């Protein structure tokens, strides 16, 4: 049997980034994917979700038209089938571009099928065995379906089929208010669907800072109902679902399950291999290399559950693709942490979160700004939200930020790049700030932090 240098299992974002690097080093490689091809990001993730959100946010803006002197907003309506159809055509465009990029190597190096290990150096696909010196597992993740919901499958949607819907019902529940649930919950509500959000504990999106969390909850609960518990489910005789928490209940037509994603590892036969497992039931990884202990197998992208984000999947794929054939590879170095949730206002975290700083017992002060009275935010009628900057109490170094603010996606990038430069509060205050811009809000928060550095005791 031929031995390949590398076999990549999964042609998603991580797998394709790895393929690019590997193809520069050897021709003796294979990529296996069970399909559908086109990546989670383009097919059912980042791209269709942001296309859907864009329309919802654009439509929502009509509510301030009257105040601005633009008349006729009450004549605007939504055509949900058309909205979903334009989301799908944008999605198809992005998927097609990924498939096109695969054309140059697909005939020689690609097999469609589900792979599983029968030994540390051998997998089986479609009943045939393939040997390799090195394997990269890049099999991604899938929506988690909580056990009680399994018997209500006719009522449930996940992001795997949400964008395939021809239209949306009048009443939807969203279970789970992490990044995916809160984005789609707000968007559906803005498009006229009556939305009830449920999540366990007062945590929302990607935010950990209590002050920013309470701002986000206060703002978003004005748009749709947020419940902080898991609901009891009951099917009514008229074919609807009643969801109950405590004394309140609601009737819905469908439920979007957004309760997290689980890595696609179950069908890979990893239990057949003599490898070590961690307490969470995943293969034990060397964090420096992303390689499974005692096996020539690397685990990248959502499949390793480290940072389930697109740019992280790409970075891990590029790094492992570049290094897995080398004798003494350098350690994997992550970029500055950055995560964004595209609600309006945007939620974002940069660097160390409030929760991490507390857990690590770091002495920090928080510089805050509210966007309610911020000049530019008022001009654009987007004056909601707040931003917290965390500054090392002793050295003045910027450590991280949590954001629920207009154009938070851009403020987060600016702050992430500042963090990369290891900037201090004084250095950041010495930078130019134009007027009137949202970045002036960052300056207010920096000044607040500088003041607190001098007034708060270490």
Ligand X SMILES: Cc1cc2nc3c(=O)[nH]c(=O)nc-3n(C[C@H](O)[C@H](O)[C@H](O)COP(=O)(O)OP(=O)(O)OC[C@H]3O[C@@H](n4cnc5c(N)ncnc54)[C@H](O)[C@@H]3O)c2cc1C
Q: What is the DSSP string of 180-221?
A: HHHHHHHHHHHTT-EEEEE-SSS--TT---HHHHHHHHHHHT
Give the nearest residue (CB) to ligand X.
12
Find the distance separating the first CA and the last CA of the chain, reported in whole Å: 66
Residue 187 lies near ligand X (rule: CB under 6 A)? no
Residue 299 lies near ligand X (rule: CB under 6 A)? no
| Least distance from ligand X to the Cβ atom of residue 353, Å | 16
d(CA 278, CA 188): 39
Q: Compare residues 117 and 155 and give the one whose CB is closer to ligand X.
A: 117
Our CA dihedral for 225, 231, 235, 236, rounded to 10 degrees, sits at -50
Cα 51 → chain centroid: 15
- Of positions 301, 367, 400, 406, contacts ligand X by CB under 6 A: 301
- Of positions 7, 8, 18, 115, contacts ligand X by CB under 6 A: 115
Q: Which one of 39-47, 192-200, 279-287, 363-371 is the stretch in contact with ligand X (CB under 6 A)?
A: 39-47
Q: Which one of 7-15, 84-92, 197-205, 418-426 is the stretch in contact with ligand X (CB under 6 A)?
A: 7-15
Residue 182 lies near ligand X (rule: CB under 6 A)? no
d(CA 288, CA 332): 5
- Of positions 84, 180, 419, 446, contacts ligand X by CB under 6 A: 180
Residue 11 lies near ligand X (rule: CB under 6 A)? yes
Chain positions 149 to 168 lying near ligand X, rule: CB under 6 A, are 159
Total interface residues for ligand X by CB under 6 A? 36
Chain positions 249 to 278 lying near ligand X, rule: CB under 6 A, are 264, 267-268
| Least distance from ligand X to the Cβ atom of residue 218, Å | 24
Nearest 5 degrees, angle CA 272-CA 282-CA 37? 85
Q: Which one of 60-68, 221-229, 276-284, 298-306 is the stretch in contact with ligand X (CB under 6 A)?
A: 298-306
Using a CB cutoff of 8 Å and minimum separation of 24, what contacts does 73-81 make? 78/191, 78/192, 80/167, 80/168, 80/191, 80/192, 81/166, 81/167
Query: For residue 50, what are its two tokens?
Result: 């942001």
SS3 20: helix
Q: Compare residues 140 and 441 and give the one whose CB is closer to ligand X.
A: 140
- Of positions 23, 28, 114, 225, contacts ligand X by CB under 6 A: 114
Nearest residue to 178 via CA among 156, 209, 201, 155: 201
- Of positions 4, 7, 19, 49, contacts ligand X by CB under 6 A: 49
Residue 132 lies near ligand X (rule: CB under 6 A)? no
- Of positions 6, 19, 30, 45, contacts ligand X by CB under 6 A: 45
Contact 348, 409 (CB under 8 A): yes
Please report which residue ranges of 35-113 form alpha helices under DSSP H. Answer: 40-43, 46-60, 65-68, 80-109
d(CA 56, CA 232): 30
Residue 321 lies near ligand X (rule: CB under 6 A)? no
Residue 39 lies near ligand X (rule: CB under 6 A)? yes
Q: Which residues bind ligand X (CB under 6 A)?
A: 9-15, 32-35, 39-41, 44-46, 49, 114-115, 138-140, 159, 180, 264, 267-268, 301-303, 308-311, 313
């Amino acid at each position: 049997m031929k031995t390949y240098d590398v076999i990549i299992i999964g042609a998603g974002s991580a797998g394709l980034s790895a393929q690019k690097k590997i193809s520069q080093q050897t021709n003796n490689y294979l990529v296996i994917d069970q399909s559908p091809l086109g990546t989670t990001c383009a097919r059912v993730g980042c791209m269709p979700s942001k296309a859907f959100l864009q329309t919802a946010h654009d439509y929502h803006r009509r509510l301030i038209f009257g105040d601005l002197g633009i008349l006729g907003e009450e004549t605007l309506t939504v055509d949900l089938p058309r909205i979903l159809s334009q989301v799908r055509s944008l999605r198809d465009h992005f998927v097609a571009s990924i498939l096109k990029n695969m054309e140059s190597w697909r005939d020689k190096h690609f097999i469609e099928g589900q792979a599983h290990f029968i030994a540390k150096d051998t997998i089986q696909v479609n009943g045939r065995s393939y040997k390799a010196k090195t394997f990269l597992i890049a099999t991604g993740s899938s929506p988690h379906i909580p056990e009680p919901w399994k018997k209500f499958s006719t009522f449930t949607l996940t992001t795997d089929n949400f964008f395939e819907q021809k239209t949306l019902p009048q009443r939807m529940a969203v279970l789970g208010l992490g990044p995916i649930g809160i984005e789609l919950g707000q968007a559906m509500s803005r498009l006229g669907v009556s939305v009830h959000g449920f999540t366990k504990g007062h945590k929302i999106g990607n935010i950990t800072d209590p002050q920013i969390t309470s701002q986000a909850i206060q703002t978003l609960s004005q748009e749709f109902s947020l419940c902080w518990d898991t609901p009891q489910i009951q099917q009514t005789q008229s074919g609807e679902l009643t969801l109950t928490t405590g004394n309140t209940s609601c009737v819905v037509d469908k439920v979007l399950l957004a309760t997290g994603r689980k890595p696609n590892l179950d069908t890979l036969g990893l239990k057949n291999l003599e490898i070590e497992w961690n307490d969470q039931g995943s293969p034990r990884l060397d964090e420096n290399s992303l390689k499974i202990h005692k096996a020539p197998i690397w685990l990248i992208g959502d499949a390793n559950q480290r940072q389930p984000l697109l740019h992280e999947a790409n970075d891990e794929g590029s790094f492992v693709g570049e290094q897995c054939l080398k004798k003494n590879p350098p350690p994997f170095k992550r970029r500055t942490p950055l995560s964004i949730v595209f609600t309006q206002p945007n939620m974002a975290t940069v660097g160390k979160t409030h929760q991490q700083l507390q857990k690590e017992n770091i002495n920090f002060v928080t510089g805050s700004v509210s966007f309610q009275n911020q000049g530019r935010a008022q001009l654009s009628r987007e004056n909601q939200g707040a931003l917290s900057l965390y500054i090392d109490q002793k050295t003045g170094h910027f450590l991280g930020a949590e954001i629920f603010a207009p154009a938070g996606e851009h403020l987060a990038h600016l702050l992430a790049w500042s963090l990369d430069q290891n900037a201090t509060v004084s250095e950041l205050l010495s930078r130019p700030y134009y007027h009137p811009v949202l970045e002036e809000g960052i300056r207010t928060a920096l000044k607040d932090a500088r003041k607190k550095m001098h007034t708060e005791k270490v």
